[in-house]
Structure 1
Amino acid sequence: MTTMTDTSLREFKMPDVGEGLTEAEILKWYVQPGDTVTDGQVVCEVETAKAAVELPIPYDGVVRSLHFPEGTTVGVGTSIIAVDVSGGAAPAPAEEAAPAKPAAEPRPAEPAPAKPQGRKPVLVGYGVAESSTKRRPRKGVPPVAAPVEDTLYGATALQPVQGELNGHGPNGATAPRPLAKPPVRKLAKDLGVDLTTVTPSGPDGIITREDVHAAVAPPKTPEPAVTAPAAPVAPAAAPAPVVSYDGARETRVPVKGVRKATAAAMVGSAFTAPHVTEFVTVDVTRTVKLVEELKQDKDMQGLRVNPLLLIAKALLVAIKRNPDINASWDEAAQEIVVKHYVNLGIAAATPRGLIVPNIKDAHAKTLPQLAESLGELVSTAKEGRTSPAAMQGGTVTITNVGVFGIDTGTPILNPGESAILAVGAIKPQPWVHKGKVKPRQVTTLALSFDHRLVDGELGSKVLADVAAILEQPKRLITWA
C-alpha cells in the first residue's frame, strides 16, 4: 500500500459495524478509482459475522485507490479506500512522491541496514505498523533487528529481522506474542493451551484451530510428523494419507460470515444450556379462520397477516401470564436475569444462512403494529439488509419450520435466551371435534427451554397457554 503523505488524502477505515466485531469481508465495491464521491454515499457492501452492511463514505472527494479487492476479509480499523478531498485531479504517479527519500541519503558513514528476510504482514491489533521511514543501525550493533518508526503510536519500535514481536514494550522487552485470531485465542484459553508452545501451520506463521487441537493431543502424535521427513526410508514411518478432491463430484464452500457465526453460536448454546423440548398437537382451525377474517379488516389492509402473526401474539400473551420464561442465565454472576420486555426473535432463512432478527419491545405492540414490524423484518432479511443491531438483544424466539412442510422439530436456543418455539406445518387431519371425527386444521408446537432456569412446570404452562390461545383465539382478548 502506498504511504500517503498528502494532507488532502483521507483514508477511510473499516468501521466496527457491530458490537465487538473484528473483521468484515468486502462483498462489492460500488466505486472505482477516479470516481467522485459525496458525503454519505455508499461505496461498498461488507459482510460481517452477523449481516451484510453497506458502508457510506463520510466526506466528499475523488477516489484515489481501493486497497483491497472484493472477497477480501479486512480487519476493523484497516484503511480500505483513499479519497482525495482537495477537489483537484488525481496526482501524478508515485515517482513524483520520491523526493522525500533523499533526506535520508546523506549518511554515508553508516552501513546500509540489513534487509528483512521475508517480512510478513501483521494481524490487525498486533505488532507494529508498516512505515516507509527506516533508520540505519549504528556501527557495532549486530544486524539482528532494525528500528522501525511506529506510525501507529508515534514511537520507535524494534523490528527483528527473522520475525516480528507481537507484544509491545521498549526494545522488544516483552516476550514474543504468537499470531492467532481472537476465536483461536479463546479456543486455546478454553482448552488450557499456552499459545507460545504451539507450532503454527497457517500462512505467515498464524496459529490455526487445528494447531491448538493438535497441542492437546497425546504427545506421541506429533513425533512421526517430525521424524518422517528426516528419515523417509524408515519402514515404520508410514506416509500420511493423501486426501483427494474431485471438483466434478464435490463442491467445497468456505465457512465464513453469517454461516460461520451461526455455527459457532449453535455449538456454544447446545453444549452450554441443558435443553429440554416439549411438544403439543393442537387444533388451530379457528385461528386459520380468524386470519382470513383479519385479511379483510380495513385496519389490517396492506399488512402481513398470516398464522405466524397470531402465533407470535399468542406467545407474547403466554409470556405475560408466565413472565419467568422471559429470562437469561448469567454464568459469571450466577444469577437469573428476568427481562421485563420482550424482543421477539423470528428465525429467517436467507441466502447467507440462518439469521434471527428480533422485533424490539414486541410486548408493547398492538396486533397491527406487530404485523407491520413482522413484515418489515421478513422483507429486510430476504433482501440481505438486516443490520447487526436488529439481531442483538433477543429474549425469546419463534422458528417456523412449517413453511418447509415439516411437522415439528427440536430447536436449539439462541445464546442468551431461555426459550424458543418451533411451529410445524398446519394441515388438515382427522380430529375429534364435539364428539365427532372431522377434518380440522392441526399443527404441532415444540418449545425448547433452558432447564437451568425453566423447570418442567413453567415450560409446560407456557406451551399449554400458546396452544389454548391458538385453539380459542378469543383468549387473545380475555387473557391479554
Structure 2
Amino acid sequence: MAEYKLPDVGEGLTEAEIVAWKVKVGDVIAVNDVVVEIETAKSLVELPSPYAGTVTALLVAEGETVQVGTPIIAVGTPDLEIDLSNPAASGGGEGESLVGRNKAEGGVTRRARKVASGAAAAAAQTQASFEPGPAPVVEVEDPGPAVPATSAATAPAAVRALAKPPVRKLAKDLGVDLASCAASGPLGTVTRADVEAAASATPVVEEVAQRPSRNPRGDERETREPIKGVRKMMGQAMVQSAFTVPHVTEWVTVDVTPTMQLVERLRAHRELRDVKVSPLLVLAKAVLLAARRTPEINSFWDEVAGEVVFKHYVNLGIAAATPRGLVVPNVKDAQDLSLADLARALTDLTVTAREGRTQPGEMSGGTFTITNVGPFGVDGGTPIINPGESAILCFGAIKKQPWVVSSGGTDEIVVRQVCTLALSFDHRHIDGEKGSRFLADVAAIMADPASALLF
C-alpha cells in the first residue's frame, strides 16, 4: 500500500488545508488523476496522484490543515503490496516534477511480519501507519487460546490516542482529553469532529445557561474564522511591508474623459473585439511607459546585499480580491506585450484569481502593482507596497464631476469624467522628485492618451 504524502507545491510552503476530496474509498485511480484540492498560503491547488490503484483510505478530513510530508491518502493494489514512499516526506527527488516523480523501479516487495492476533495486531498496524517510513504489512496468525497480555508491546494502554497535530491542538484549546474521544477517523484516528463532539458534551455551568440573552434572535453574537491560507499570508506580507518600508503616498486628480473616449474607440477595433477593453488597460500601458522614464519605480531595495536592484523587465501585478483573501498575480514581462496581448493577459489573470485558481508561480516575482478600487466606488486610498517591490498605484473610481476647462483664453465649468490616482513608494531610494515625476507621467497619459507617443 502506498501512502501519498502532502508535497510542497512550491516556494517552500510548509502546510496546506484539505479543501475537497475528488475521490472516495474504493475508487480506482490512475497516475496523474486529480485526487484532492488543497489551499496553500497562496492559492487553491489540485493535486494529481503519483500512484495507480485503489483508494483504500482518506487519511485527512476536509477542512483540516496538515504539514508537508503528512500522509493524506492511501492507495493499494489488490494483488501486490508495494512500498512507494512519497519523496515529499523522505526528501528524495528534490527538484523533480510532482507528477510521477520517484516512481518505483521494480518496487521492493516486503514480506509479511507475523505478530500475535487480536488487539495487539490491530494496535501494531495502526501505530505503524503513523511512524516515519513505509508501513509494514501485518499478517495475523490463527488465533489460539485466549491468553492475558503480559508484555508492554501487546497491552492496549501502550497505544496512545492517534490524532493529527491540528486535532491535538484543538483538543488542547478546548480542554478535551483525546483518550476520552470516540475515534471515528481512518485507522482509529481521532478527528476534529470527534473532539468537537466531546467538547459539546461537556456540562455547561448552570448560571451561564440561565443568563438572559441580549440577542432577541437567539443566534450567535460573534463568529470566529480561523486565520489561514491566503488570508494568513496576506496579513503577514502587509505587516512586514508596513513596518519595514517607509511609505510615502502622493495623490493626483485627473480628467480622464479622453481616456474614456479612447476606450470606446478601442472596443470597436477589430484586433480588440474579443478581449475586454477597460480604463485599467490604458492605465496599465501608461504605467509601463512611465516606468521607462523613472526606472527607480521598478527597482527594489535589497537590505541584505546593501544594493538597489534595477529590474529591466516589468512583472505587472494586479491586486484581486477573492473570497479567500487578497492575491496579487502578475503579468510576466508586460513591457513586451502589445495592447491586445496585454488586454488578454489582464483578463485571464483577473478571472483566474477570482476563481481561486491562481498558482504560486503566477504571484511570484512581481515588480510593480496596480490596485483598482474603482469598482467599489472608492475615490482613492494609501495602498501598502507589495513585499519585494518599491511602489504601488491605486486607481480610484471614475466619476462625473464639475471641472474647469480652458478654451480660447476663457475658463468654463463643464461636466467631465474624473478620477484620483494615488502612488505609494519606498522613500529609502525613491525620493519625492522621482515619485512625483512617475505619477505625473501616468496622469498625463490618462488625461491625453496621445501623449504616449512621446515616451
TM-score normalized by the length of structure 1:
0.67
The equivalences for 1:423-434 within 5 A come to 423-434=395-406
Alignment match of 1:376 (pick from 339, 344, 348): 348
Residue 33 of structure 1 deviates from its aligned partner by: 0.8
The equivalences for 1:305-384 within 5 A come to 305-384=277-356
Alignment match of 2:115 (pick from 81, 102, 109): 102
For residue 440 of structure 2, give the secondary structure of its aligned residue in structure 1. helix
For residue 244 of structure 2, give the secondary structure of its aligned residue in structure 1. coil
After TM superposition, the structure 1 stretch with the greater mean CA deviation from structure 2, 339-348 or 80-89, is 80-89
The equivalences for 1:391-410 within 5 A come to 391-410=363-382
For residue 388 of structure 2, give the secondary structure of its aligned residue in structure 1. coil
Task: Write the distance in 1 (CA, Å) between the matches of 2:132 and 2:242.
Answer: 39
For residue 449 of structure 2, give the secondary structure of its aligned residue in structure 1. coil
After TM superposition, the structure 1 stretch with the greater mean CA deviation from structure 2, 246-255 or 318-327, is 246-255
Contact 2:31 2:49 in 1 (8 A): yes
Q: Does 1:274 align with 2:266?
A: no
Task: Write the distance in 1 (CA, Å) between the matches of 2:79 and 2:25.
Answer: 14
Residue 101 of structure 1 deviates from its aligned partner by: 3.9
1:422 is matched by which residue type in structure 2?
C
2:417 is matched by which residue type in structure 1?
Q
- 1:245/1:15 Cα in 2 relative to 1: closer, same or farther (>3 Å)? farther
Equivalent residue, structure 1, for 2:225: 253
Task: Write the distance in 2 (CA, Å) between the matches of 1:205 and 1:75.
Answer: 18
After TM superposition, the structure 1 stretch with the greater mean CA deviation from structure 2, 468-477 or 287-296, is 468-477
Equivalent residue, structure 1, for 2:20: 28
Q: Does 1:439 align with 2:431?
A: no
For residue 466 of structure 1, give the secondary structure of its aligned residue in structure 2. helix
Alignment match of 1:58 (pick from 39, 50, 53): 50
Task: Write the distance in 2 (CA, Å) between the matches of 1:391 and 1:451.
Answer: 24
Contact 1:345 1:397 in 2 (8 A): yes
- 1:85/1:452 Cα in 2 relative to 1: closer, same or farther (>3 Å)? farther
Task: Write the distance in 2 (CA, Å) between the matches of 1:245 and 1:50.
Answer: 40
- 1:62/1:288 Cα in 2 relative to 1: closer, same or farther (>3 Å)? same
1:12 is matched by which residue type in structure 2?
Y
For residue 4 of structure 2, give the secondary structure of its aligned residue in structure 1. strand
Equivalent residue, structure 2, for 1:415: 387
Equivalent residue, structure 1, for 2:266: 294
Equivalent residue, structure 2, for 1:219: none
Task: Write the distance in 2 (CA, Å) between the matches of 1:30 and 1:75.
Answer: 20
Task: Write the distance in 1 (CA, Å) between the matches of 2:299 and 2:342.
Answer: 21
Task: Write the distance in 2 (CA, Å) between the matches of 1:430 and 1:367.
Answer: 31
Residue 59 of structure 1 deviates from its aligned partner by: 3.1
Equivalent residue, structure 1, for 2:450: 474
1:81 is matched by which residue type in structure 2?
I
Task: Write the distance in 1 (CA, Å) between the matches of 2:249 and 2:391.
Answer: 10
CA displacement, residues 174-214 of structure 1 (integer Å, 9 cap, x when unaligned): xxxxxx99xxxxxxxxxxxxxxxxxxx966999xxxxxxxx
1:387 is matched by which residue type in structure 2?
Q
For residue 419 of structure 2, give the secondary structure of its aligned residue in structure 1. strand
For residue 410 of structure 1, give the secondary structure of its aligned residue in structure 2. coil
Task: Write the distance in 2 (CA, Å) between the matches of 1:260 and 1:102.
Answer: 46
For residue 399 of structure 1, give the secondary structure of its aligned residue in structure 2. strand
Equivalent residue, structure 1, for 2:441: 465
Contact 2:18 2:61 in 1 (8 A): yes
Contact 2:32 2:50 in 1 (8 A): yes
Q: Does 1:453 align with 2:425?
A: no
CA displacement, residues 18-40 of structure 1 (integer Å, 9 cap, x when unaligned): 20100000000010011011222
Residue 58 of structure 1 deviates from its aligned partner by: 2.1
Contact 2:247 2:427 in 1 (8 A): yes
Equivalent residue, structure 2, for 1:37: 29
Contact 1:61 1:87 in 2 (8 A): no
CA displacement, residues 439-460 of structure 1 (integer Å, 9 cap, x when unaligned): 0110000000011111111100
CA displacement, residues 427-479 of structure 1 (integer Å, 9 cap, x when unaligned): 11111112221101100000000111111111001000000000010122331
Task: Write the distance in 1 (CA, Å) between the matches of 2:330 and 2:282.
Answer: 16
Contact 2:112 2:136 in 1 (8 A): no
Contact 1:62 1:87 in 2 (8 A): no
Residue 390 of structure 1 deviates from its aligned partner by: 0.5
Work out the percentage of aligned pairs sharing the same amino acid. 56
Equivalent residue, structure 2, for 1:79: 71
1:102 is matched by which residue type in structure 2?
V
The equivalences for 1:129-208 within 5 A come to none
Unaligned stretches of 5+ in structure 1?
1-8, 90-96, 105-111, 134-145, 148-160, 164-179, 182-200, 207-243
- 1:12/1:268 Cα in 2 relative to 1: closer, same or farther (>3 Å)? same
Please, what is the CA RMSD of the aligned residues? 3.4
How many residue pairs get aligned? The number is 353
Task: Write the distance in 1 (CA, Å) between the matches of 2:272 and 2:288.
Answer: 19
Residue 129 of structure 1 deviates from its aligned partner by: 7.2
For residue 35 of structure 2, give the secondary structure of its aligned residue in structure 1. strand
1:342 is matched by which residue type in structure 2?
V
Task: Write the distance in 2 (CA, Å) between the matches of 1:245 and 1:371.
Answer: 53
TM-score normalized by the length of structure 2:
0.71
Task: Write the distance in 2 (CA, Å) between the matches of 1:476 and 1:79.
Answer: 56
Contact 2:113 2:136 in 1 (8 A): no
Q: Does 1:284 align with 2:256?
A: yes
Task: Write the distance in 2 (CA, Å) between the matches of 1:42 and 1:474.
Answer: 50
For residue 290 of structure 2, give the secondary structure of its aligned residue in structure 1. helix
Contact 1:59 1:85 in 2 (8 A): no
- 1:362/1:245 Cα in 2 relative to 1: closer, same or farther (>3 Å)? farther
- 1:466/1:61 Cα in 2 relative to 1: closer, same or farther (>3 Å)? same
After TM superposition, the structure 1 stretch with the greater mean CA deviation from structure 2, 52-61 or 66-75, is 52-61
Residue 304 of structure 1 deviates from its aligned partner by: 1.3
Task: Write the distance in 2 (CA, Å) between the matches of 1:31 and 1:131.
Answer: 22
CA displacement, residues 85-138 of structure 1 (integer Å, 9 cap, x when unaligned): 46789xxxxxxx99724389xxxxxxx9xx9xxx9x99xxxx9779779xxxxx
For residue 71 of structure 1, give the secondary structure of its aligned residue in structure 2. coil
Alignment match of 1:19 (pick from 7, 11, 14): 11
